[in-house]
Homo-oligomer: A and B are copies of this chain.
Amino acid sequence: MILAQSQILQCYNNFEVNEMKPITKKILQDTIRIRPTQSFKGTYGKIALIGGNQNFGGAIIMSSLGAVYAGVGLTTTITDSSNQSSLHNWVPEAMYLDYHDEPAVKALIANMDVINIGSGLGTDEKSLSLLKTVFASVSPTQILVVDGSAIDLIASNNLSLPKTKLIFTPHQMEWQKLSGVKIKDQNENTNLAAYNNLFKQQGSIVVVKSHRTQVLTPTGSFVNTVGTPAQATGGMGDTLAGIIGGFVAQFENTENAVLAAVYTHSAIADELAKKQYVVLPHQISEALPQFMKKNEA
């Protein structure tokens, strides 16, 4: 699945230059719909978020916070039991499942619209086993958001990807592992070339996170126009993964939902950064309901 460095360079030489499309405020109006009066929890989707081992519980908490505050209908967080209490302290709205109970995990995810895996998951045997369980369980009608350690695990174990709608959210090192493009060689063109070779056919979406995040989709290459260095702090990516999950669970056009989530995450940070030297990830999630209200259409 992973291109050799020589293959990447060949792509780079051959590909046709595509202009990057800017992700602007307009994506919000195209995506965040005014909620219909006659609706219920099921209207806004069901999401399961899987991650958070004993060391990285904060990651899955922040991701869950993003999904819940984005407005998803029902949220279940599947994590190590040592994170149960702190999860409920932040989001009592999320249900909990111990990720060691794989039969229950399998049964639960069968009923989900969206599954997020990877925030704080870790890369040990347990993590790999969970990832394989998820890959073996998801159906083509579900959306699978793959973040953090899950990307590492795919690359290091050369895992085959399941036949479902996939959204990857790598930072630059994870993208290197996933695509074979080294960080120093990563740019809009090499990223697009690798995407076209590896992910386009299945219709996957890749969010390559950096100070100007690039989103690669079957319809083209997009670049975020907002964002601030005040966001450069641990947990920012976990929060983004949660918001993406929350948006794709609610909004019909998945590509637009991802683009809108990427824009929203950074636009809120920009707003907060006017008065803050650093923006804490959980503050972005807590600001979601107000931001989305202002930008619904």
| Copies of chain A in the complex | 4
Q: Which of chain B's residues have a CB closer than 8 A to the CB of A210?
A: 40
Known A83-B88, A88-B83, A89-B89: A290·B278 in contact at CB below 8 Å: no
Of residues 31 through 85 on chain A, the ones whose CB sits less than 8 Å from some CB of chain B are: 32, 35-41, 43-44, 54-59, 61-62, 65, 68-75, 81-85
Q: Which of A37, A65, A291 has the most CB of B within 10 A?
A: A37
Partner of A93, one of B35, B228, B230, B281: B281
Partner of A32, one of B57, B274, B277, B281: B277
Whether A118 sits at the interface, judged by CB under 8 Å, is no
Whether A26 sits at the interface, judged by CB under 8 Å, is no
Of residues 13 through 44 on chain A, the ones whose CB sits less than 8 Å from some CB of chain B are: 32, 35-41, 43-44
Name the residue on B nearest A278 (C-beta): B71
Q: Are A61 and B88 in contact (CB under 8 A)?
A: yes
Q: Are B234 and A75 in contact (CB under 8 A)?
A: yes
Partner of A233, one of B36, B44, B228, B230: B44
Q: Which of these binds chain B: A94-102, A146-154, A199-207?
A: A94-102
Q: Which of chain B's residues have a CB closer than 8 A to the CB of A278?
A: 69-71, 288-289, 292
